[in-house]
Amino acid sequence: DSGVTQTPKHLITATGQRVTLRCSPRSGDLSVYWYQQSLDQGLQFLIQYYNGEERAKGNILERFSAQQFPDLHSELNLSSLELGDSALYFCASSSGQGAFSSQPQHFGDGTRLSIL
Amino acid sequence: AQSVTQLGSHVSVSEGALVLLRCNYSSSVPPYLFWYVQYPNQGLQLLLKYTSAATLVKGINGFEAEFKKSETSFHLTKPSAHMSDAAEYFCAVSVPGNQFYFGTGTSLTVIP
């Protein structure tokens, strides 16, 4: 058990819809990272937050947004969903401040998003 | 530019044989390097990390990796493969500029 909790585990929705994925980091970790894993793109870094502030941005689409709340949980919002957004979305947490860090990331079990 | 490359998307070894999974990185300054393992329908678990303390890093489950600056490599090895080692393995690099990159992964199959 990594200590990182992601909900829901599975999500099925239709094109054009909007969904919110939730992540609770490990106790004591201030950084949260979001990743998208798909068969054709592999594991892609989307965005990182540290203590409520955005710290690093990767290949995140404009239709996607995220935030980290004062209690350190984070949400990833995906809107105007397309078939190609079907993927596993992982959240990870770390005690490091930035993406450039010696501190490892601890991953949740992911949310599997299926767009019909 | 790709910061981490994993050679071989699929590797098969016999049970008891040596496991060698290759990872090369590109960075103008020494990066932090990691190996993660992913079992089906699970998140990634940290196997080991290199943070410049020692070039030979020992991890969990008998895995180890050696940082070779001259070859810009961080290959993962295990002397004797076990059936339970079958999984997807990811090399990852943390580089200045606040970026974290994963390799494309290597699927390890262990043949009984």
Q: Environment class of residue B60 by beta-carbon count within 10 Å: exposed (0-12), middle (13-18) or buried (19+)?
A: exposed
Per-residue model confidence as pLDDT tens digits over B66-106: 999 899 999 999 999 999 999 999 999 887 766 778 899 99
C-beta atoms of B43 and A108 within 8 A: yes
Q: Cα separation of A105 and B37, whole Å?
A: 12
Q: In this complex, is the C-beta atom of B112 within 8 Å of any C-beta atom belonging to chain A? A: no
Residues in chain A closer than 8 A to B42 (CB atoms): 109-110
C-beta atoms of B100 and A56 within 8 A: yes
Q: How confident is the model at residue B1 (pLDDT cuts 50, 70, 90)?
A: low
Residues in chain B closer than 8 A to A106 (CB atoms): 46
Per-residue model confidence as pLDDT tens digits over B46-69: 999 998 778 899 999 999 999 998
User: What pLDDT does B42 receive?
Assistant: 84
